[in-house]
């Protein structure tokens, strides 16, 4: 039996091997290999990584997700104020269209309104980890990649805000009235923005004095993320929204580019590998076998809502019809944050239907497996995958015959 330190090394090395195998032999994103390795060693396979191991690594997972969300916020490109408002409106339309369709679908299947709203919020969030890792692996560079990051970030903010608003009303452990639950919900959202702003202030202040020394600034950013995550846990508010706000505020305020941001896909890939492998280990492939029809339907509703909203907003975003389709495909990965929130929800609300939990788990697993390929397909379609461009054919040499 492996001890926890051996297991940690085994997960890192196995994830590395699986990721490189997926990339080099099948031209799949490395993240697909990480998740497949997690399924192989988790409860769906050998059970070497048990739910107890995943639970004991929760703090590490929170820190990894905090770093991922910080980077997502930081990757949102700076644009003019007018363009910022257009993108905000368009992103909100994408989130509301997909979330609204999913909410209606859940309610039509007799899911209670509050639980249906929570489930729809989980489903509308696009995975920042898959988006960042896949874009990094294919060398995504360009305006469309920046817009994809923006839409992923807006989806995340809206999803996390809805979850924070609805959770106090689903918490069976507290005997609070409507006003008390509303106060708790809005207090959590305000506290998240304040905490994100405080973290941004620490990094911006420190970057002024550390100059552009990557090794020192990375320590500053990582230390601030650890402090921010710990503070969020202490205050019993969302870990995720403050980190997303943190990254976005640093990018928006740092006009002179004094901050040297840490990159999860290069400087801290260890966090990325562990997150995906443990996500795969925590998921049960049996859910996908049992609820594959429902998972496909949820994924289809999600895609239709996103694609329809992008078509509606395409003139504002200067997108072609083909690009609307590609963006709809690129937004498909479901966030592994949804897995964490779903587990927390099961703890708080014990009346949640096992069938609904199974459907959501199946959808998360399906999008963990297919999501990286969807993002890679979108980036290739945009023509911004600098590391996967087909090699130019060598010039043909014509030999003249001797007469």
Q: What is the pLDDT of residues 223-238, one digit of tens each?
A: 999 999 999 888 888 7
Instruction: Work out the mean pLDDT of the chain and round it to a whole number.
Output: 85
Q: What is the mean pLDDT of residues 344-370?
A: 76
Q: Which of 317, 188, 189, 207 is nearest to 261 (CA)?
A: 207
CA angle 252, 204, 188 (to 5 degrees): 70
pLDDT in tens, 238-270: 788 899 999 999 998 988 888 888 887 777 788
Q: What is the pLDDT of residue 329?
A: 94
Q: What is the pLDDT of residue 394?
A: 47
* 3-state secondary structure (DSSP) of residue 169: helix
pLDDT in tens, 100-111: 999 999 999 888
Can you say how many angstroms the Cα of residue 376 is from the centroid of all Cα atoms in its chain? 15
Phi (first) and psi of residue 212, to 5 degrees: -90, 60
With a CB cutoff of 8 Å and minimum separation 6, the contacts of 244 are 69, 70, 72, 73, 153, 156, 157, 160, 196
Q: How far apart are CA 268 and CA 337, in angstroms?
A: 18
Q: Which domains does the chain have, with CATH numbers?
A: 59-271+289-382 (1.20.1530.20)
pLDDT band at 397 (very low <50, low <70, confident <90, very high): very low
Q: What is the pLDDT of residue 338?
A: 66
Q: How far apart are CA 207 and CA 393, in angstroms?
A: 46
More confident residue, 282 or 223: 223
Q: Which of 157, 136, 119, 154 is nearest to 338 (CA)?
A: 119
Instruction: Record the pTM.
Output: 0.87
Q: What is the pLDDT of residue 353?
A: 80
Alpha helix (H) ranges present in 211-268? 214-235, 240-253
Q: Which of 105, 30, 135, 96 is nearest to 299 (CA)?
A: 105
Least confident of 110-119, 177-186, 217-226: 177-186
Contact 98, 302 (CB under 8 A): yes
pLDDT in tens, 123-152: 888 888 889 988 988 888 899 999 999 999
């Amino acid at each position: 039996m492996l001890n926890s330190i051996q297991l940690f090394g085994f997960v890192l090395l196995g994830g590395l091997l699986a990721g490189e195998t997926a990339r080099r032999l099948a031209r799949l994103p490395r993240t697909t290999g990480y998740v497949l390795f997690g399924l192989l060693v988790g409860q769906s396979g050998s059970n070497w990584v048990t739910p107890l191991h995943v639970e004991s690594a929760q703090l590490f997972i929170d820190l990894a997700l905090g770093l991922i969300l910080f980077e997502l916020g930081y990757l949102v490109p700076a644009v003019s104020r007018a363009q910022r408002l257009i993108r905000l409106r368009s992103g909100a339309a994408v989130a509301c269209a997909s979330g609204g369709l999913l909410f209606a679908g859940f309610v039509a299947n007799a899911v209670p309104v509050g639980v249906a709203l929570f489930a729809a919020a989980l489903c509308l969030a696009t995975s920042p980890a898959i988006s960042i890792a896949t874009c990094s692996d294919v060398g995504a560079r360009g305006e469309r990649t920046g817009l994809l990051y923006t839409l992923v970030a807006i989806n995340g903010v809206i999803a996390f805000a809805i979850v924070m608003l609805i959770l106090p009303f689903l918490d069976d452990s507290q005997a609070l009235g409507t006003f008390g639950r509303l106060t708790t919900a809005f207090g959590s959202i305000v506290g998240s923005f304040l905490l994100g702003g405080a973290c941004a202030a620490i990094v911006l202040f420190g970057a002024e004095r550390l100059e552009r020394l990557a090794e020192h600034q990375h320590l500053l950013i990582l230390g601030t993320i650890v402090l921010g995550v710990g503070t969020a846990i202490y205050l019993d508010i969302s870990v995720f929204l403050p980190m997303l706000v943190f990254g976005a505020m640093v990018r928006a305020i740092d006009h002179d580019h004094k901050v040297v941001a840490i990159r999860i896909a290069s400087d801290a890939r260890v966090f990325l590998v562990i997150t995906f492998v443990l996500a795969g280990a925590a998921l049960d492939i049996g859910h996908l076998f049992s609820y594959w029809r429902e998972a496909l339907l949820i994924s289809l509703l999600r895609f239709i809502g996103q694609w329809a909203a992008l078509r509606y907003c395409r003139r504002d975003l200067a997108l072609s019809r083909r690009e609307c389709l590609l963006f709809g495909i690129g937004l498909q990965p479901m966030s592994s944050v949804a897995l964490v929130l779903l587990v927390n929800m099961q703890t708080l609300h014990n009346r949640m239907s096992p069938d609904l939990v199974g459907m959501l788990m199946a959808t998360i697993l399906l999008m963990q497996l297919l999501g990286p390929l969807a993002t890679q397909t979108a980036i290739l379609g945009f023509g911004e995958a600098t590391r996967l461009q087909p090699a130019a054919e060598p010039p043909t040499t014509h030999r003249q015959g001797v007469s």
